[in-house]
Structure 1
């Protein structure tokens, strides 16, 4: 196995081609040593003005690099060449690195500087561990969500030498090391046209065509090519074809989820791979119990993107095991899980119970997007969860400035739909009213209408805003570029107008013009009225038939002059009572 020797790089530079590295270091200051290394390695990288910032590599001439002798870690940010050591002393032999110890220490680092400082203290480094170091740098950099590698990392001679080594020794790297290095450099946004990545990709393609790449290497390579060349590259099709020929029993859970991610990137070819997806969905039932929170979130998110509505058994099982992971999901992972359950129409009382406990305990630390998604989940599944609604109401009162207009709408709507007023309702709606008064023009018209309509459903009538939303100016904005207002908006406007007529007689402001009023709240896709409980409706209907003697003596779903729909007409029942009284008088001769 090729080794990276971490102590003889500078000797190959022209400035140090004299007898012995020690003499070179004695003749040149430490600052000059670092400057020479930077001048020789800097051309491998892009100009810092490129956006997004990417690394550009050309042909390298240096295969090795220096490192301090010893195992002590440098403080974060300390220069690699901080001291001049006598590397030629015979008592300082090369040290072998224990793999497990290496990865254990590597995983404890939280910054790229710490990783590179640790690498610089090692005498020798096998290729596998060098690729692992690149992977760890990728992980810690992606945690911050930044899309570019810091310039101080790019200029670090240890990082540069790792990259150069991967480029020049690509043909001798083991399969796992090769694909791991390619994946790490891809995620670090190295320029796809750089000589480094072109060499690595070419070597991967040669080995792929020869066959023999293991499942794990195929999965890593597939995801790397998606990042570099997009889902339409021909090599990706060959990877998927080879993966389909492997036995799923030999896949690890990580490989199964990676395969879902690869297929997720090829949504336009879902029909072509549907038979394999069905096989994959059935097999995945057996590994759900072993999935980590991250893998579970990624799998269920892929099922949404791939529109696997026929995989409901898998979704149900994922929901069952997601219960135990709720406290361990990140904000983004929890959002994806909730989004998937909304998409598939799935709900589970145990999941809801666990979600209640989690939201009630950490709601103030949740992202606004997650909070709004939790409320959307409760709204879509009509889950009247008082712990969730109370916690969300308190969060909005404390952190209202963090929420965007669409998130505020998704947060407020469930209160109206579920007809629930939280204990802090006065503070909640006072905060909402202040936000609307301050930022009225920043709210999209339809979003604003949804919020005000939801408030009216729980008798928090938005009297201060009715004149504005009934004005021709607002209605024109609401209509936008469409020829007509949609029926849902018209129904919401009509209900708000009826509220002002029936329940706010003191309101004397702008009225809604008749042409914007509708006669029914039933819309093609939904209804603004609370849906009937079918079992209760059926019980009442049977009872009335037994009481009155026939179905024709009463009416159901009666539309009143004020456009409200009544489940059963009391007028009809009163009329039936008059008919029965007449029959009774005739029989008695009265």
Structure 2
């Protein structure tokens, strides 16, 4: 192994004779040898290797540096270790112990000055440890937000000594030391055109062309080249080609994650690498359990960027292990996990439970982007999580100024979609109204419309803002540069206008012009109604025919003049008798059957979604007698006869006033 020796004149033990000491130690028990060597010989073990790589410090001024090649402490021709196999093994064990101690000490330092002072006190430093010291400098420096090294570190004599030796003698470095040094210096934003980095990259290219780099070194080199030269560099293809030729069993878990990151950077070429990706996806199932929280997050992010929708078994397994690490994720890592789960449509009740505990305990300290992403996750998956919704409502009341307009919309939208009012609803919407009054012009038009529509779903009607959103000026802003308004915006405007008529009769402001009103809320996309569940609809149809005697006495999927589509409509005369659906005269009352399948409720609950609750509320205000037939009641029925009896109770109860 190549070495870097940091020697001071006061550290040299002039009366110590290595050969004599070793001869004496070989006659001692192994435990005693271990102890003695660890106390006295460890600083010199590295310098007993072939072709050492050293930095020598002149203690007086600490400014002159030079490299020295040779075996000063191991005269040629004197066999010391080569004839003793057990001693070789002991040396290796001691070296591993030394490395553990070294990296443990490094991890305790919190500043670059501490790291550099520590390595300046060492007499001998292997190149991998020297590169590890550079990495630790990067880690402590990036905590301050600026990853570029301050001037005092760049001018530090110890730091310069390390850099000079990496620059002048890269061929003496081991593969691990070479790529680790390149990685650390790349992360520290050293000038890519500096001779230091150019020499290291050139040496890496030389070894790459010879095929002399192992899997881990290839992965590290690949990521460094992406940072230095971009994902389009030709060398990257050679690295990926060599990695494809390796058996995946050789890859450590962190190498698998690094491989995903490399392929992620070349996402535009994903089709070329899909066969290789399929192999990686299948193999990754075996390494998920060994991944850190950071690695789990990075792997999920790569799967999103690479659009690996066919790798759902891997996503599901990653989700299983994500649950265990929810409290340990950083804000950024948790954000990436949530984005991946939203992208793949993954949800897990155990993950939701862990997320509830995490958000409820830390919501006031979480990053606003994470809070809004948590709410988006609940909204997209229709998860009615009362602990999360309550915690977020409290956070917004206390810290509304932390959130951007788009984040505020993402926070409020789930309350409307999931049809939930938190305990502090009055304070929440008072705070929201004040925020809108103060910063109205900062909200993008579509974001504002979505926000106000969400409030209306849960009967928190934005009366004070209706005159603004129905004004020609706002509608023009909403349309922007497009030639027409999108379907969803028109539907939201229409429903808000219908709300102003039905639920806010005191509103006397501008009306929505007919050209901005849709004729139906039920459309193939961007619908404000959930289509009826076909199987459930067929079951109810069969029961109604048995109950009423003929298909003639009810109509299906009726579009009303008020833009809502009724699943089943039954017409009644003045005495409450059922009329054929073809009759338009003498219709005194209409019955609207809402056949509510699972998609009209929050996930795994009996709680109607906001848009379905609003629809039923509006139908009642329009004079319909609304009869709800939820799927969970139908599923309890065991026979056709029970279904008919159930429908009879629903339709012809004493209070219904319906006869047949």
TM-score range, shorter chain: 0.7 to 0.9
Residues 413, 534 of structure 1: alpha-carbon distance in 2 compared, 3 angstrom cutoff: farther
Q: Secondary structure at the match of 2:271?
A: helix
Gaps of 5+ in 1: 10-62, 70-79, 83-92, 583-590
Matches within 5 A, 1:315-394: 315-394=315-394
For residue 76 of structure 2, what is the aligned residue in structure 1?
A: none
**Which is higher, the Rg of structure 1 or of structure 2?**
2
Residues 537, 524 of structure 1: alpha-carbon distance in 2 compared, 3 angstrom cutoff: closer
Residues 573, 156 of structure 1: alpha-carbon distance in 2 compared, 3 angstrom cutoff: farther
Tell me whether 1:527 sits opposite 2:519 in the alignment.
no
Matches within 5 A, 1:140-179: 140-179=140-179
How many angstroms apart in 1 are the aligned matches of 2:299 and 2:124? 39
Whether the 8 Å CA contact 1:323–1:354 is kept in 2: the answer is yes
Q: Secondary structure at the match of 1:437?
A: helix
Residues 440, 514 of structure 1: alpha-carbon distance in 2 compared, 3 angstrom cutoff: same
Residues 107, 535 of structure 1: alpha-carbon distance in 2 compared, 3 angstrom cutoff: farther
How many angstroms apart in 1 are the aligned matches of 2:526 and 2:573? 29
For residue 182 of structure 2, what is the aligned residue in structure 1?
A: 182
For residue 508 of structure 2, what is the aligned residue in structure 1?
A: 508
For residue 459 of structure 2, what is the aligned residue in structure 1?
A: 459
Q: Secondary structure at the match of 2:272?
A: helix
Q: Secondary structure at the match of 2:392?
A: helix
For residue 74 of structure 1, what is the aligned residue in structure 2?
A: none
TM-fit CA distance, 1:500: 0.6
How many angstroms apart in 2 are the aligned matches of 1:250 and 1:551? 68
Whether the 8 Å CA contact 1:207–1:213 is kept in 2: the answer is yes
Residues 282, 550 of structure 1: alpha-carbon distance in 2 compared, 3 angstrom cutoff: farther
Whether the 8 Å CA contact 2:131–2:177 is kept in 1: the answer is yes
Whether the 8 Å CA contact 1:548–1:576 is kept in 2: the answer is no
The alignment yields a C-alpha RMSD, in angstroms, of 2.5
For residue 122 of structure 2, what is the aligned residue in structure 1?
A: 122
Deviations 1:269-320 (A, max 9, x none): 1111100111111111111111111111111110000000111111111111
- Number of residue pairs matched by the alignment: 506
Q: Secondary structure at the match of 2:437?
A: helix
For residue 544 of structure 1, what is the aligned residue in structure 2?
A: 544
Residues 101, 294 of structure 1: alpha-carbon distance in 2 compared, 3 angstrom cutoff: same
Whether the 8 Å CA contact 1:345–1:381 is kept in 2: the answer is yes
Q: Secondary structure at the match of 2:567?
A: strand
Q: Secondary structure at the match of 1:272?
A: coil
TM-fit CA distance, 1:327: 1.3
How many angstroms apart in 1 are the aligned matches of 2:268 and 2:434? 46
How many angstroms apart in 2 are the aligned matches of 1:540 and 1:67? 93
Residues 502, 103 of structure 1: alpha-carbon distance in 2 compared, 3 angstrom cutoff: same
TM-fit CA distance, 1:399: 1.3
TM-fit CA distance, 1:388: 1.2
For residue 400 of structure 1, what is the aligned residue in structure 2?
A: 400
Matches within 5 A, 1:439-478: 439-478=439-478
TM-fit CA distance, 1:101: 1.3
For residue 304 of structure 2, what is the aligned residue in structure 1?
A: 304
Gaps of 5+ in 2: 10-53, 64-72, 74-94, 584-660
For residue 565 of structure 2, what is the aligned residue in structure 1?
A: 565
Residues 256, 65 of structure 1: alpha-carbon distance in 2 compared, 3 angstrom cutoff: same
How many angstroms apart in 1 are the aligned matches of 2:432 and 2:56? 61
Q: Secondary structure at the match of 2:460?
A: coil
For residue 204 of structure 1, what is the aligned residue in structure 2?
A: 204
Q: Which moved more, 1:548-557 or 1:153-162?
A: 548-557
How many angstroms apart in 2 are the aligned matches of 1:310 and 1:68? 62
Residues 193, 552 of structure 1: alpha-carbon distance in 2 compared, 3 angstrom cutoff: farther
Q: Secondary structure at the match of 1:568?
A: strand
Matches within 5 A, 1:7-406: 64=55, 66=57, 98-406=98-406
Whether the 8 Å CA contact 2:522–2:531 is kept in 1: the answer is no
How many angstroms apart in 2 are the aligned matches of 1:360 and 1:463? 32
How many angstroms apart in 1 are the aligned matches of 2:251 and 2:345? 30
How many angstroms apart in 1 are the aligned matches of 2:524 and 2:145? 42
TM-fit CA distance, 1:143: 3.3
How many angstroms apart in 2 are the aligned matches of 1:501 and 1:447? 23
TM normalised by structure 1 equals 0.81
TM normalised by structure 2 equals 0.73
Deviations 1:116-145 (A, max 9, x none): 222233333222211110011112223343
